Amino acid sequence: MTNQSSQFPRFYVTAPHPCPYLEDRLERKIFTEINEQNPEGLHESLAKVGFRRSQDIAYRPNCENCAECKSVRIPVNAFTPSRTQRRLINLNADLVSDILPNKATQEHYDLLSRYLAVRHAEGGMVNMSYDEYEAMVECSPISTNLIEYRLPATSDAPGKLIAVCLTDSMSDSISMVYSFFDVSPDNKKRSIGTYLVLDHVARAQVTQLSHVYLGYWVKESPKMAYKMKFKPLEVLSTEGWHRATA
């Protein structure tokens, strides 16, 4: 006889630890394993109420006296790129993209390591080993792919790797789990991080999906400010999803 309790996810809460976004605050998360009979359905249901996926874990902030981490997503049908965003789309039109299985490679790991050393030198991921990266990419109980972006190949060399995005697929949406890219000065004008979001919106429009999930937005975190440049943007509150006004 099936144990009925095993059909429902069990939720746990982490111990408080320093917040990666706001100084002098502590972060706590609620999480559950995505390992029941319908992992795709569980993941999608949790995403709609603000959870994110990391490997086979779904989590969301559950901090005491703080609710600054807001889940955000782009409503695909309502989105129209701004003039600046259209310029970035044109500027990056030379990039060649490819959808790959979620398998770790040394080339991708090397790009991630360079990205973290420049963009997140003080973060907890900066010393990520190859084995840890492999787990981040390959340990997924749901439909997950890597999308890589390269410069065009030449007769003398293959196309240079410019960016990689780990992406989850849901029945009606895309979730951008993690992206990293070439941070050399030569690519500064490309604003690759912004372009990756625009490209995912374009993919969602082609396949008639409803939303692109961008993770969390923290109003007081400069690193999160770019997310507000995608308009309209939906924010999750205790009353549900609504259009951002910030």
pLDDT, tens only, 38-49: 999 999 999 999
pLDDT at 206: 96
Could you say which of 41, 68, 95 is where a domain stops? 68
pLDDT at 1: 43
Please indicate, yes or no, whether residues 29 and 130 belong to a single structural domain of this protein: no
How large is the average pLDDT for residues 161-185? 97
Q: For residue 77, is it within any domain?
A: no
Please indicate, yes or no, whether residues 95 and 36 belong to a single structural domain of this protein: no
pLDDT at 126: 87
Q: For residue 40, is it within any domain?
A: yes
**DSSP letters for the chain:** ---GGGGS---EEPPPEE-SSSTT-EE-EEEEE--SS-HHHHHHHHHTTT-EEETTEEEEE--TT---EEEEEEEGGG----HHHHHHHHHTTT-EEEEEES---HHHHHHHHHHHHHH-TTSTTTT--HHHHHHHHH--SS-EEEEEEEPPP-SSSPPPEEEEEEEEE-SSEEEEEEEEE--SGGGGGG-HHHHHHHHHHHHHHHTT-SEEEEEEEETT-GGGGGGGGSSS-EEEETTEEEE---
Please indicate, yes or no, whether residues 122 and 203 belong to a single structural domain of this protein: yes
Nearest to 199 by CA among 234, 241, 148, 153: 148
Please indicate, yes or no, whether residues 52 and 123 belong to a single structural domain of this protein: no
CATH for 97: 3.40.630.30
Please indicate, yes or no, whether residues 114 and 188 belong to a single structural domain of this protein: yes
Q: For residue 238, is it within any domain?
A: no
Q: Is the pLDDT of residue 123 over 50?
A: yes
Q: For residue 226, is it within any domain?
A: no
Q: Is the pLDDT of residue 6 over 80?
A: no
Q: pTM here?
A: 0.93
Please indicate, yes or no, whether residues 39 and 8 belong to a single structural domain of this protein: yes
Please indicate, yes or no, whether residues 196 and 87 belong to a single structural domain of this protein: yes
Q: For residue 53, what pLDDT band results from cuts at 50, 70 and 90?
A: very high
Total number of domains in the chain? 2
- Give the tens place of pLDDT for each residue, 189-245: 999 999 999 999 999 999 999 999 999 999 988 888 999 999 999 999 999 999 998
Q: For residue 225, is it within any domain?
A: no
- Give the tens place of pLDDT for each residue, 125-139: 889 999 999 999 999
Please indicate, yes or no, whether residues 23 and 86 belong to a single structural domain of this protein: no
Q: Residue 56: give the domain boundaries.
A: 4-68
Q: For residue 221, is it within any domain?
A: no
- Give the tens place of pLDDT for each residue, 68-122: 999 999 999 999 999 999 999 999 999 999 999 999 999 999 999 999 999 887 7
pLDDT at 5: 47
Please indicate, yes or no, whether residues 125 and 179 belong to a single structural domain of this protein: yes
Please indicate, yes or no, whether residues 118 and 199 belong to a single structural domain of this protein: yes
Q: For residue 161, is it within any domain?
A: yes
pLDDT at 109: 98
pLDDT at 245: 82
Please indicate, yes or no, whether residues 21 and 130 belong to a single structural domain of this protein: no
Please indicate, yes or no, whether residues 87 and 186 belong to a single structural domain of this protein: yes
Q: For residue 126, is it within any domain?
A: yes
